[in-house]
């Protein structure tokens, strides 16, 4: 039988996807599962974005798109970067991709050689490490402890950089912890990166609008203009505009890197859905009221989840500044036995026991590079989130 590439053996299916599949299997068997796994906003896409897509289809805007994005969307992205981040990009310094994930894939694929290293503060979204491995690179993890608010420390990043380092990957706000770096935090990191001119910097700002309590989002290319010629800033329509299924991401960065990313994309998917791009342009250009409403909802859910989880025996939950996740520490549950007799030796054990015994789906912290934690998504309706947290509390009460 024909075989598969060695490259494929370096990666596995993301844990959040695996848990979602297992939750769907149980649900199909009639089990009442509360799923708190995926970062999937429970809001509708903006009506004006849907209408823009409809009108684009009606007028025949259904042909092959430019590989780097339509002029209308790139102009909207150009205005968005200026408006939200104070970043000025020429149109040939902007590209559109099938979701923010493809922008990351394109950047890493266009730059990594075997043995090159990506420095990744953890906890982090698993895709950064998995994609680095796919391109025969090596992830290098920088631990961001809870006592520092899960934020990366500049000195730790400095210590992790070697002659093999090709990338520093920043995610702000962070998935899974919700931690946010301030402009001052980023300035300290930038001062380190100035000393390492051989390293690209990636700023994944997908959750940039989802910040709470007056926190001001910052991005490293704006904080440190001297790094602009080797920094790519990535965002998209998925989170703030509840447009995950439209698959519209984008990036701004130096012309040579953007050109390489577009070339990489050309070998895979080429351009992005024309009607999706029309919808994203309308979302970026149009009223932003829906974003503000979502921020209020996510803040309230964060507050509810943090309060309820901190009331659970054996759980300690940090209060994040942004995104729509909380990242509770479950160290107090380890070494105990569940009501059905299952011994809990790791956060993965806690995660599986919660799913199979309490019927709540979460993702274990080890999948994000830090144990013993769970990622709980608050991107669900209030009633489901509250019921999920109640089930977790009952589960914890039954430990002995």
Amino acid 353: pLDDT: 96
**Tell me, what CATH number does 224's domain have?**
3.40.640.10
Give yes or no: residues 81 and 228 share one domain.
yes
Give yes or no: residues 193 and 274 share one domain.
yes
Amino acid 27: pLDDT: 87
On whether residue 20 sits in a domain, the answer given is yes
Amino acid 317: pLDDT: 98
On whether residue 128 sits in a domain, the answer given is yes
Give yes or no: residues 261 and 373 share one domain.
no
Amino acid 69: pLDDT: 98
On whether residue 320 sits in a domain, the answer given is yes
- pLDDT tens-place string over residues 284-323: 999 999 999 999 999 999 999 999 999 999 999 999 999 9
Q: pLDDT above 70 covers what percent of the chain? A: 100
Number of domain units in the chain: 2
On whether residue 137 sits in a domain, the answer given is yes
Give yes or no: residues 84 and 12 share one domain.
no
- pLDDT tens-place string over residues 207-249: 999 999 999 999 999 999 999 999 999 999 999 999 999 999 9
Give yes or no: residues 265 and 353 share one domain.
no
Average pLDDT over residues 267-280: 97
Range with lowest mean pLDDT among 19-23, 69-73, 102-106, 284-288? 19-23
Amino acid 19: pLDDT: 80
Tokens of 302: 């964060």
Q: pLDDT above 90 covers what percent of the chain? A: 92
> Could you say which of 231, 266, 285 is where a domain stops?
285
On whether residue 107 sits in a domain, the answer given is yes
**Does position 79 have pLDDT exceeding 80, yes or no?**
yes
> Could you say which of 261, 285, 309 is where a domain stops?
285
Give yes or no: residues 54 and 38 share one domain.
no
Give yes or no: residues 227 and 318 share one domain.
no
Which of residues 183 and 19 earns the better pLDDT score? 183
**Does position 262 have pLDDT exceeding 90, yes or no?**
yes
Average pLDDT over residues 36-45: 92
On whether residue 1 sits in a domain, the answer given is no
Q: With bands split at pLDDT 50, 70 and 90, how would you rate the model's confidence at 20?
A: confident
On whether residue 2 sits in a domain, the answer given is no
Structural domain harbouring 361: 7-44+290-397
Give yes or no: residues 216 and 275 share one domain.
yes
Q: With bands split at pLDDT 50, 70 and 90, how would you rate the model's confidence at 22?
A: confident
**Does position 16 have pLDDT exceeding 80, yes or no?**
no
On whether residue 200 sits in a domain, the answer given is yes
Amino acid 167: pLDDT: 99
Give yes or no: residues 224 and 338 share one domain.
no
Which of residues 103 and 37 earns the better pLDDT score? 103
- pLDDT tens-place string over residues 338-397: 999 999 999 999 999 999 999 999 999 999 999 999 999 999 999 999 999 999 999 999
**Tell me, what CATH number does 337's domain have?**
3.90.1150.10
> Could you say which of 269, 285, 301 is where a domain stops?
285
Give yes or no: residues 281 and 220 share one domain.
yes
**Does position 14 have pLDDT exceeding 80, yes or no?**
no
Give yes or no: residues 321 and 237 share one domain.
no
Amino acid 18: pLDDT: 80
Give yes or no: residues 172 and 91 share one domain.
yes
Amino acid 215: pLDDT: 96
- Residue 369 has phi, psi (to 5 degrees) of 90, 10
């Amino acid at each position: 039988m024909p075989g598969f590439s060695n490259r494929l053996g370096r990666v596995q299916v993301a844990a959040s996807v695996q848990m979602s599949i297992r939750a769907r299997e149980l649900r199909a068997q009639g089990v009442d599962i509360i799923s708190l796994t995926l970062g999937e906003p429970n809001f509708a896409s903006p009506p004006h974005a849907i209408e823009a897509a409809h009108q684009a289809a009606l007028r025949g805007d259904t042909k092959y798109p430019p590989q780097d994005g339509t002029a209308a969307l790139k102009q909207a992205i150009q205005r968005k970067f200026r408006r939200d981040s104070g970043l000025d990009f020429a149109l040939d310094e902007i590209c559109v991709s099938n979701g923010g994930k493809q922008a990351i894939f394109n950047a890493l694929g266009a730059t990594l050689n075997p043995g090159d290293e990506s420095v990744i503060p953890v906890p982090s979204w698993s895709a950064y490490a998995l994609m680095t491995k796919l391109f025969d690179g090596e992830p290098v993890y920088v631990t961001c402890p809870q006592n520092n608010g899960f934020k990366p420390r500049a000195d730790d990043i400095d210590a992790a950089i070697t002659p093999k380092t090709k990338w520093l990957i920043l995610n702000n706000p962070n998935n899974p912890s919700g931690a946010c770096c301030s402009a001052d935090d980023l300035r300290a990191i930038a001062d380190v990166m100035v000393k390492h001119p051989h390293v690209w910097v990636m700023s994944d700002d997908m959750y940039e609008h989802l910040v709470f309590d007056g926190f001001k989002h910052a991005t490293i290319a704006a904080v440190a203009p001297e790094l602009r010629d080797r920094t790519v800033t990535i965002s998209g329509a998925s989170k703030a505009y509840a447009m995950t299924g439209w698959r519209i991401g984008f990036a701004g960065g130096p012309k040579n890197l953007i050109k390489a990313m577009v070339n990489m994309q050309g070998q895979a998917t080429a351009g992005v859905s024309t009607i999706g791009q029309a919808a994203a342009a309308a979302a970026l250009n149009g009223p932003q009221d829906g974003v503000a409403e979502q921020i209020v909802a996510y803040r309230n859910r964060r507050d509810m989840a943090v309060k309820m989880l901190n009331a659970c025996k054996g759980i300690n939950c940090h209060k994040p500044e942004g995104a729509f996740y909380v990242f509770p520490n479950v160290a107090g549950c380890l070494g105990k036995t569940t009501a059905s007799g299952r011994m809990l030796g790791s956060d993965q054990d806690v995660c599986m026991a919660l799913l199979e015994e309490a019927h709540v789906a979460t993702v274990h912290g080890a999948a994000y590079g830090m144990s013993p934690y769970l990622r709980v998504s608050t991107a669900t309706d209030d009633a489901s989130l509250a019921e999920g947290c109640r089930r977790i509390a009952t589960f914890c009460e039954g430990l002995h």
